[in-house]
Chain A
Amino acid sequence: MTRVTCAEVREAAPDLALGLVTGRERAAYLDHLERCGPCRADVSALAVTADDVLLAGPRAEPPPGFRGRVLERLGAAGAFAEAGPGADRQPSGAGFDAEPGAERRRTGRRGGGPAGRPPRAGRSGPRVLAAAAAVLVAVGLVAGGLAVLAGRGGDGADPATAGATAAMRTGTGRLVGEATVRGDDPAVVTVDLPGWGELVERYGDPGGRYWLAVELDDGSRTLNRIPPDESAWEVPLRAAAADVAAVSVVDAGGRAWCTGRFPAPA
């Protein structure tokens, strides 16, 4: 095998980090990296940077039904063999069939991105992907053994009196607060987001308008204006507690900042 020098590795380090070197040439470099700590550290650091570029890459909303098809394919590949034939099983509360397209239909938004913005146009025509808009994600709760914070009625209590609590999460699953629905018909929804003011100040418009969207099991939604300078709100509903499916905080553009879902009663 051809021996390469540190200078040669340093020259080729970005190519190695990006996976642009193949075959015998790559083998020679890898042989050197095994024996040379500084070169290994250099390539490793550049590989992390290459990852950062990937992470800053485009986002795009997949076609309707995508998630279900992936889960079917995972099931067919045997991914859920030990967990049972559950590839097509709905996780309680995760609602993976409630795909973004369905969410948009319910909210009446148009366009591919949050706040109904049209996708950004790529500069160079069909070869380059136009807009990679992030998607308004109807956030589901992580159920099962992972993260059940929510459940109507909790420990078997009567939801009408004891109340049901749902974790409020951002699109990436970050926990930012909780929503509680209690009382008989009409019910009252209480949302507590301890860091709300800071989030708005940092990422939003402190002078902007925000609403608490309450979604019922029948798909209907009501919007209730909430002041941005408070972190807890109480909203009376014209519905029973058991009919409340989800609560979201949305901005004037229809973008969901966080969502809490109440699993349907068994």
Chain B
Amino acid sequence: MWTVSDEALFAGYAAGDPQAAAVFVQRFENQVYGLARAMAGAPAEAEEIAQEAFVRAWKYAASFDERRGSVAAWLLRVTRNVALDHLRARGRRAEPVGELPADLIVDPADVGETVDRHDDVARVAGLLRGLPEAQREALVAVTLLGLTTREVSEAAAVPQATVKTRIRLALRKLRDELGADAR
């Protein structure tokens, strides 16, 4: 049976096919908006970021290289960059960062209907939850909230060097675990 891969759909999106565009946006809007919402906070700004991310993804579609990752990952990187641009434009955050997030990771049960991606997301989410809390908080704050290591250090009341160490340890541990799973 035939199905439309993310890559094939993205090719239609990049080519300006309105039908492919509608399905492409539908397929990724929850992830794009979810990340934008996490980073921006305010719904209005999150929507602006998410819209801009889709437009930027079309504009710079030629820069997508499937050898370097999936369409979804690339689109989320674009979203993250757009969100960071917005944060910089408004002078970072309007309010100080409070407690660091410990639980910003998707609940695998919430992606039950995306059966084909369930396993991967659940595996990564499980590994993230298995990290020491301080490491997980630092990594999630930087990747999913767009905080700088300085902001994380202020929120966690620890030296910036400690934050960097936690992030490095967390990412390397994840990398090792995911690599071990793949073997």
* A contact residues vs B (CB 8 Å cutoff): 11, 13-15, 17-18, 20, 44-63, 66-67, 69-71, 73-75, 77, 79-84, 86-87, 89-92, 94, 96, 113-114, 117, 120, 122-129, 132-137, 140, 142-147, 149, 169-176, 199, 203-204, 255-257
Contact = CB atoms under 8 A, between A and B. Distances in A.
Contacts of B29: 62, 66-67, 70
A4 B168 CA distance: 18
Nearest to A92: B19
Contacts of B2: 147, 149, 175
Q: Top 5 A-B pairs ranked by shortest CB distance?
A: A91-B19, A124-B99, A51-B73, A86-B18, A60-B34
Given A71-B18, A126-B41, A146-B8, A53 B102 contact: no
B38 interface: yes
B168 A15 contact: yes
Interface string B100-117: 111111110011111111
Given A67-B26, A113-B110, A203 B118 contact: yes
A113 B114 CA distance: 13
A161 B154 CA distance: 70
12 contacts: A14-B168, A58-B104, A60-B30, A60-B34, A60-B38, A83-B17, A122-B101, A128-B145, A132-B37, A142-B20, A146-B8, A170-B113
Nearest to A60: B34
Given A55-B121, A134-B106, 20 more contacts: A15-B164, A20-B148, A45-B175, A54-B35, A56-B121, A58-B104, A59-B110, A60-B46, A79-B16, A89-B18, A120-B103, A128-B38, A129-B34, A129-B38, A135-B30, A137-B26, A144-B19, A145-B17, A146-B20, A170-B114
B70 interface: yes
Interface in B74-108: 76-77, 80, 95, 97-107
Given A58-B144, A70-B51, A96 B171 contact: no
A83 B13 CA distance: 11
Given A58-B35, A71-B18, A140-B23, A123 B112 contact: no
Nearest to B149: A20
Nearest to B141: A128
Contact of B124 (A15, A18, A53, A128): A53
Contacts of B34: 57-60, 129, 132
Contacts of A66: 29, 33, 47, 50-51
A162 to B, nearest CB: 21
Contacts of B26: 67, 94, 96, 137, 140
Candidate in A117, A120, A171, A172 with the most chain B CB atoms within 10 angstroms: A172
Contacts of A203: 112, 115, 118
A124 B17 contact: no
B171 A140 contact: no
A143 B9 CA distance: 11
A59 to B, nearest CB: 4
Interface string B160-183: 000010011001101100110000
Candidate in B34, B111, B121 with the most chain A CB atoms within 10 angstroms: B34
B157 interface: no
B23 A142 contact: yes
B104 A57 contact: yes
A20 B142 CA distance: 9
A69 B33 CA distance: 13
Given A60-B37, A122-B101, A51 B23 contact: no
B131 to A, nearest CB: 11
A120 to B, nearest CB: 6
B60 to A, nearest CB: 12
Contacts of A61: 30, 33
Given A74-B54, A122-B104, A124-B98, A46 B8 contact: no
A126 B70 CA distance: 31
B31 interface: yes
B158 interface: no
B142 A69 contact: no
